[in-house]
Amino acid sequence: MTHTQEHTSHTKLIWKVFAILSVITMVEVVLGIIKPASLHLTHFLGTSILNIIFLILTLVKAYYITWFFMHMADEKKSLRRAVVWTALFLIAYLATLILIEGSYINDVLGPLTKWNY
Amino acid sequence: MEATIASDSNGNNWSGGNKKPLDASYGKLMMWFFILSDALTFSGFLAAYGLMRFKFIDSWPIADDVFTHFPFLHGVDAPMFYVALMTFVLIFSSVTMVLAVDAGHQMKKSKVTFYMLLTIIGGIIFLGSQAWEWKQFIQGSYGAMQLKDGKIIQFVNASGHQVTLESFSKPLNSERVQHTKSNGIWYVKEASLPPFTVNEVIEGFKAHPELTIRTEQINPETKEKIIIPRKDAMAYLAEGKAIVKGANLAVNEYGNTLFADFFFFITGFHGFHVFSGILINIIIFFNVIIGTYERRGSYEMVEKVGLYWHFVDLVWVFVFTFFYLV
C-alpha cells in the first residue's frame, strides 16, 4: 500500500498544508499587532489568554509541519510514538518545572527590586 | 567459515538483512533520533529563556517596542511585519523542500533539481534577513540611559512615545575623545564612545519640558511600561551612569541585558542550523545534478536532508512565538 502511495504525487496536499500554515501565521501576526485588550489583559494559567492562543496555534503549526512536511503521517506508529511522545513528555516536564521555578524566583526577588529613586 | 559480506550497496539496509526496524531505513531513523535530541537542546535553551522571563516578568522588554524596523521604512513603527516576512520565507522554503522530496519519489530529476535550488535560495534569503534583524538590534533605535544599578531609563514625549537622544540632547563640547591605538597606549583598546555623555542628555532633558522618562517596570494592569511623572524624573537621572545605544551582550537599550543575550544566543544557534542546512542542501543539490541518486535508484537522501530542513523550520516556529509574540 505504501508502495503505490509513494509514487502518486502529494502536491495538492502540500499546497493545502502551506495554505493552513500561512493562515495561522497571519492570524498570529494580526493578533500580535492588535493585542485585543479582552484577550491580552487577562490572567489565565499564569499568563494571558492571548498567550495561550499563541501557544496553541504554534502547536497546531508544529503538528502540520511534522505530520505532512516531515511525513510523520506515513511512518509506522511505533516510530511516530518513539519520537513524538518522547519529545512531548520531556519538553512538557522540563518546561513545567522550570517555569514554575522562574515564577517562584520572581515571587521572592520581585519585592526586593527597587524601582523608585 | 563463511565470510559476512555487505550485500547491499545503496546504504538503505541495516546489517543483518532486509528487515527494517520500525520500517525505516538506517539513515532515516538516525536522522529522526538526531532531530529528537536537537529538539531537546533547543527546548533547553527556550526553557532557560522562559525561566529568566518569569523571573523578570514585571520588567521584561516588550517585543513590540524592540523589533519595529522594516527595510526602506525609516522611522515607521512596524512591529512584527519583518519577522512575519521571515517566517513566510522559511515556511515557503519548507514547501519547496517537500515538493523536491515529492518529485524524488516520482524519480523526476529535473523537478528535484529545481525545487532544491528554490529551497537553497529561500534559506539564503532567510539568513540575510536574520543578519539585517541583528544589525537593527545591535544599532538600536532610540538610545537610553543606564543607571548606576544597571537599570535602563528610556525617554518619552508627552504622548508616551519614545524619542531619540539626538532629538533633545544638548552638545556641550565635552573634551572626552575615544582612546585609539594611534593616539594612546598602543595595547589598550576602547569601544567607540556613545554619541552623548550623561551630562549632555540631562541638560537636554532640562531644556525640553515636554519630555519625561519610563522605567523597565511593567504595569500589571495595562501591561505597558510605567511612565514616571516629570517632577520625579530628575531623581532618576541623577543616578545616571552611562548612555546606551543599541544592544550587545553586555548592555541593552531596550531593558534587561538577558533579553539581548538570549536573543543573540537562540536566534544565532538557529541561524547556524539554517547555515549548515543550506550547506548540506547545496551538497545534495550537486549530487542530484550529477545523477548520484538517479543511479542509486532512490532519492532518499533528499528526503533525509528534507527532514533536517523541516526541523529547522519547526524550531523557527517556536522561536517566533516565544521571542516575538508571547
Cell of B81: 511585519
- pLDDT (0 to 100) of residue A3: 46
CA distances from B68 to A83, B62, B224, B244 (A): 38, 11, 16, 18
Residue A57 sits in the same domain as residue A10: yes
B55 CA to centre of own chain: 22
Distance, first Cα to last Cα, chain A: 73
B324 touches chain A (CB under 8 A): yes
- A67 and A86 share one domain: no
* A64 and A102 co-located in one domain: no
Residues A60 and A30 in one domain: yes
All structural domains of chain B:
22-140+259-325 (1.20.120.80), 144-245 (no CATH)
Interface of A with B in 91-110 (CB under 8 A): 91, 94-95, 98-99, 101-103, 105-106, 109-110
Whether residues A20 and A46 fall in one domain: yes
Same structural domain, A3 and A54: yes
The reply to whether A104 and A49 lie within a common domain is no
Cβ neighbours of residue B248 under 8 Å, at least 6 residues apart?
B138, B260
The partner residues of B218 in beta bridges, in order of sequence, read: B225
How much is the pTM? 0.88
A8 and A56, same domain (yes or no): yes
Note the pLDDT of residue B4: 54
The DSSP code sequence of A10-74 is -HHHHHHHHHHHHHHHHHHHHHHHH--HHHHT--BTTB-HHHHHHHHHHHHHHHHIIIIIS-GGG
Q: Which residues of chain A neighbour B91 with C-beta distances below 8 Å?
A: 18, 21-22, 25
Same-domain status, A10 and A38 = yes
Interatomic CA distance for residues A48 and A96, integer angstroms = 17
Q: Which structural domain, as residue segments, surrounds residue A69?
A: 1-74
Q: Give the model's pLDDT for residue B182.
A: 80
**Model pLDDT, residue A10:** 84
Interval B1-35: pLDDT, tens: 445 554 445 555 666 667 778 888 888 999 999 99
Amino acid A79: pLDDT: 93
Could you give the 3-state DSSP secondary structure of residue B203?
helix
Q: What is the mean pLDDT of chain A?
A: 89
Taking chain B (326 residues) in runs of 10, the rounded mean pLDDT of each run is 50 66 87 95 96 94 88 78 92 95 93 96 96 93 92 91 88 73 79 80 91 91 90 91 91 94 96 97 96 92 95 96 92
- CB A17 within 8 Å of CB A70: no
Which value does ipTM take for this structure? 0.91
- Give the burial string for B215-253 (b: 16+ CB within 10 Å, else e): bbbbeeeeeebeebeeeebeebbeebeebbbbbbeebbb
Query: What is the average pLDDT across A26-39?
Result: 91
Domains of chain A: total: 2
Same domain? For A102 and A67 the reply is no
Same domain membership, residue A87 and residue A66: no
What is the predicted pLDDT for the residue at A86?
94
B-interface mutation test, from A43, A114, A115, A116, most B Cβ less than 10 A away: A115
Flag whether residue B59 sits within 8 Å of chain A, measured between CB atoms: yes
User: Are A64 and A84 in a shared domain?
Assistant: no
